[in-house]
């Protein structure tokens, strides 16, 4: 008590006034930056954005990012011509298309294929569980982008441009729509190892840092760093510390009204405080039933990390987290130093992809089934895909190199047309040739499903208005239910 009174006496009058008047400053900043859907921060402070622009079909997004780039012609894009021409020259092959040099010779898919569902969708035997859900999926077979290496391609796919410093889609959604739960972040990333490009892929870029993702690393003992209160510290003592910090920061920020990052930092302190009570319950998988754990495969060593991530993601989605990305971790097996990167089948596409399928198929299928059973799939947009595809000709004798000119991504739920196929690659699965879809088009379509006009979601930075889709993008209405 004496220390508290002494501190009160030593505070300058101006600082005491700001403290007394500004104790709620952080909460006000949080409401502006992370709260009401009709408001979002700009570089000059807070400005209303009338969002959503139209009735949304999706309320939330989960992106299952297959790190390393799965081969479209070994997963979802069946090509009988490639199978028939194995070992023959690939027409119009570009040996420099990928990151290394390829043979120019057709490499048939080593996997067995079959049709599934009423849609008759061809699926390789990598996905016995996901194959049961093809009638809920909307396939885009004609994706393409510019970059041919992992980090810049992942940035292009997540941020619309393949250069560092750009905000990712999750940050844009947080900026535009805010959080549906003031006690949890709007944007969460999960990974077992950092993908190439790491933090740049989920960066807030030039947006206020309050829109940065919460990254959960599966390798750490504590799922969320620094979440627990200091040993022996009471809630009241911590609240008093934060109130004093808010007061001092408010005085500092009042003299610098154009620096939005100051307000963003205040918001992040307040959010971190509230997460101490909300986050432990949200990520506590012991609350789930034995049947649910069996569905996801949380005890299966081949897929348990991805399974726990998918189950955690469902719990976070239920509690209002708006955008979640799970970056698929290491292989269930692996076949050498190069191919130990998930889905990056340079050496042997069969062993690499078989391992990756085992580590992701069951949990991803369980997530779809679980969301559907809970009535959440209708307004949850699920995305599956990697940063590009793989070449139809071989690298070495059994591997495939990077291929940004044609690959497959599928969506499910959230207003995506179920059991539908859009676009096409050539008969060898080498390049997109029909209804080509650039990442800007994908983003424009996703934003549309979330009720946002992609041309109106802007942020002024360095003298110009930026948007996720840059100066491109078109909504692909054909894939919308």
pLDDT tens for residues 68-122?
A: 999 999 999 999 999 999 999 999 999 999 999 999 999 999 999 999 999 999 9
CB neighbours (10 Å) of residue 4? 8
pLDDT tens digits, residue range 392-404? 999 999 999 999 9
Is the predicted pLDDT of residue 388 greater than 80, yes or no?
A: yes
- Section 337-355 average pLDDT: 83
Is the predicted pLDDT of residue 356 greater than 70, yes or no?
A: yes
181: confidence class by pLDDT, cuts 50, 70, 90:
confident
Cβ-Cβ contacts under 8 Å for 94 (sequence gap 6 or more): none
Q: What is the pTM of this model?
A: 0.84
Would you state the pLDDT for residue 44? 32
CA separation, residue 158 to residues 130, 145, 174 (Å): 24, 12, 14
Segment of 198-212, 317-331, 362-376 carrying the highest mean pLDDT:
362-376
62, two tokens = 């989960």
- Section 266-291 average pLDDT: 79
Q: Choose between 255 and 163: higher pLDDT.
A: 163
Average the pLDDT over each of 20-34, 314-328, 376-390 and give the range with the smallest value. 20-34
Would you state the pLDDT for residue 85? 97
179: confidence class by pLDDT, cuts 50, 70, 90:
confident
Tell me the HSE value of 410 on the side-chain side, using a 13 A CA sphere: 25
Would you state the pLDDT for residue 333? 56
- Section 56-64 average pLDDT: 98
CB 414 within 8 A of CB 61: yes
CB 73 within 8 A of CB 85: no
275: confidence class by pLDDT, cuts 50, 70, 90:
low
Would you state the pLDDT for residue 155? 95
Average pLDDT over the chain reads: 85
Is the predicted pLDDT of residue 20 greater than 50, yes or no?
A: no
pLDDT tens digits, residue range 236-249? 776 777 677 777 77
Q: What percent of the chain has pLDDT over 90?
A: 67
- Section 186-210 average pLDDT: 88
Would you state the pLDDT for residue 421? 98
CB 367 within 8 A of CB 310: yes
Would you state the pLDDT for residue 341? 74
Cα 155 from Cα 111, distance rounded (Å): 30
- Minimal CA–CA distance to 288: which of 276, 301, 297? 297
Phi, psi of 133 (to 5 degrees): -120, 15
Average the pLDDT over each of 255-264, 286-295, 364-373 and give the range with the smallest value. 255-264
Q: Which CATH class is domain 36-224+283-459+466-479?
A: alpha beta
pLDDT tens digits, residue range 134-160? 999 999 999 999 999 999 999 999 999
Cα 378 from Cα 338, distance rounded (Å): 39
Cβ-Cβ contacts under 8 Å for 106 (sequence gap 6 or more): 82, 85, 86, 87, 88, 89, 90, 392, 393, 394, 428
Cα 194 from Cα 154, distance rounded (Å): 12
pLDDT tens digits, residue range 399-443? 999 999 999 999 999 999 999 999 999 999 999 999 999 999 999
Rounded to 10 deg, the angle between the 150-159 and 169-177 helix axes is 20
Residue extents of the structural domains in the chain: 36-224+283-459+466-479
Would you state the pLDDT for residue 395? 97
Would you state the pLDDT for residue 344? 94
- Section 163-189 average pLDDT: 92
Cα 450 from Cα 435, distance rounded (Å): 23
448, two tokens = 């549309």
Would you state the pLDDT for residue 244? 78
């Amino acid at each position: 008590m004496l220390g508290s009174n002494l501190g009160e006496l030593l505070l300058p009058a101006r600082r005491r006034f700001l403290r007394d008047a500004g104790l709620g400053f952080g909460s006000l900043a949080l409401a502006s930056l992370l709260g009401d859907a009709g408001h979002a921060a700009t570089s000059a402070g807070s400005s209303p954005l009338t969002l959503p622009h139209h009735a949304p079909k999706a309320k939330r997004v989960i992106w299952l990012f297959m790190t390393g780039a799965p081969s479209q012609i070994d997963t979802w894009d069946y090509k009988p011509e490639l199978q028939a021409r194995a070992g023959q020259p690939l027409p119009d092959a570009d040996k420099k298309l990928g990151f290394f040099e390829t043979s120019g010779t057709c490499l048939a898919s080593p996997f067995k294929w079959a049709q599934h569902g009423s849609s008759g969708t061809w699926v390789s035997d990598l996905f016995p569980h996901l194959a049961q859900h093809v009638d809920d999926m909307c396939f885009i077979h004609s994706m393409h982008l510019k970059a041919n290496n992992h980090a810049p391609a992942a940035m292009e796919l997540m941020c619309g441009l393949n250069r560092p410093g750009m905000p990712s889609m999750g940050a844009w959604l947080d900026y535009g729509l805010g959080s549906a739960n003031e006690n949890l972040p709007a944007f969460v990333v999960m990974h077992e190892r950092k993908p190439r490009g790491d933090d740049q892929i989920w960066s807030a870029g030039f947006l206020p840092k309050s829109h940065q993702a919460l990254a959960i690393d599966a390798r750490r003992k504590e799922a969320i760093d620094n979440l627990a209160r200091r040993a022996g510290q009471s809630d009241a003592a911590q609240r008093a510390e934060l109130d004093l910090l808010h007061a001092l920061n408010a005085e500092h920020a009042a003299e610098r009204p154009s620096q939005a990052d100051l307000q963003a930092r205040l918001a992040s302190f307040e959010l971190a405080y509230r997460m101490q009570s909300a986050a432990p319950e949200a990520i506590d998988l012991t609350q789930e039933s034995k049947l649910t754990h069996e569905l996801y495969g949380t005890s299966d060593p081949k897929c348990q990390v991805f399974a726990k991530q998918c189950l955690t993601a469902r719990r976070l989605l239920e509690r209002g987290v708006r955008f979640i990305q799970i970056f698929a971790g290491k292989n269930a097996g692996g076949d050498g130093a190069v191919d130990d990167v998930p889905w990056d089948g340079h050496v042997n596409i069969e062993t690499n992809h078989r391992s990756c399928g085992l580590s992701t198929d069951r949990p991803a299928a369980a997530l779809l089934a679980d969301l559907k059973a809970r009535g959440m799939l209708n307004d949850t947009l699920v995305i599956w895909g990697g940063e590009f595809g793989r070449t139809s000709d071989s690298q070495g004798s059994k591997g495939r190199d990077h291929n940004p000119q044609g690959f497959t991504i599928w969506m499910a739920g959230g207003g995506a047309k179920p059991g539908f196929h859009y676009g096409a690659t050539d008969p060898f699965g080498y390049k997109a040739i029909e209804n080509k879809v650039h990442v800007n088009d994908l983003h424009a379509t996703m934003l549309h499903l979330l009720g946002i006009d992609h041309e109106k979601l802007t942020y002024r930075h360095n003298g110009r208005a930026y948007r996720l889709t840059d100066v491109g993008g078109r909504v692909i209405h054909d894939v919308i239910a």
